[in-house]
Amino acid sequence: MAPFLLLFVALATASPMKRQTTGGLDVDGDGLLSYAEVSSAMSLHEALTALDRDGDGFIYLPQIIELWGTGDKFYELNTDGDDHLTFREIENGMTLQDFYEQFDFNGDGSLDVPEAYQVNFIYDTLNSPSAYNPLDTNGDGKISRLEIVSHMTYDEVLTALDFDGNQELNFQELTILFGDVASQFIAAQDNNRDGVVDFHEARTHHMTLGRIFNMLDVNTGPHGVRTADSPTAAAE
């Protein structure tokens, strides 16, 4: 399940993980994830296994963009120029420390709540690989637009993304949902051009949860259906 789908699941189940928590990895309970806490819970190979949704041993460009909001690392590590990264390519090109530091956007040596979101997704996947997906109400293995909008509102999604509770969404917070199109969402909704989208701005220009679903749907069908585990099911 992609991290942005995990956000939707958290909302659907009213899970406390949806905001203000760094999950089971935060051993000392300080609200931050240190490298020591992450390295004691997983290896780089285990993290890659959690990200490899279809079990083919490959990591694709959309998954890299989903992790870090950019595809730069994919092109840096892709030594043979094909359409995927093997575990060997990744492990030859980076360590777990390097992997951890890619999430430390402000470079302070620890991961705060929004920075830690993807790492917590990996940890939860490793510890609950077959977790029930309450959004898939008809059990077809896909998430439809109707299933999303039946479980939550647009305002609930905005609130879940607002980790610091200031009713403004910055690029880092929006990347959790939008991946590499977070900047496009900001450009479209940031009416006063201050670099963030406040809740009022987020509701302008006829933006709805249904429209957000369409932005995230890489393989749009007649009913807005997407597969939850496709290797291309990343926030594009």
pLDDT, tens only, 166-175: 999 998 888 8
User: Which CATH number characterizes residue 212's domain?
Assistant: 1.10.238.10
- Judge whether 116 lies within some domain: yes
In terms of Cβ atoms closer than 10 Å to its own Cβ (0-12, 13-18, 19+), residue 80 is exposed
Whether 34 and 84 map to the same domain: the answer is yes
pLDDT tens profile 175-187: 878 877 888 999 9
Cα distances from 6 to residues 11, 80, 168, in angstroms, run: 9, 32, 21
Calpha distance 196→178 (Å, rounded) = 14
Read off φ and ψ for residue 13, nearest 5 degrees. -100, 0
- Judge whether 5 lies within some domain: no
Token pair 């807005």 in the structure block, residue: 224
The dihedral through the CA atoms of 76, 68, 125, 236 has a sign that is negative
Total domains in the fold of the chain: 2
Burial code (b: 16+ CB inside 10 Å, e: under 16) for 136-168 equals beeeeebbbbebbbebbebebbbebbbbeeeeb
Read off φ and ψ for residue 59, nearest 5 degrees. -115, 130
Dihedral angle over CA of 181, 152, 156, 4, nearest 10: -30
Whether 210 and 119 map to the same domain: the answer is no
Our CA angle for 189, 4, 76, nearest 5°, is: 90
Q: Which residues of the chain have pLDDT under 70?
A: 1-23, 129-135, 137, 139, 141, 218-236
For residue 97, what are the domain limits?
14-127
**Residue at which a domain ends, from 98, 127, 156:** 127
- Reported pTM: 0.61
Confidence (pLDDT) at 218: 59
| Structural element, H or E, at residue 124 | helix 113-127
Confidence (pLDDT) at 134: 64
Calpha distance 225→199 (Å, rounded) = 27
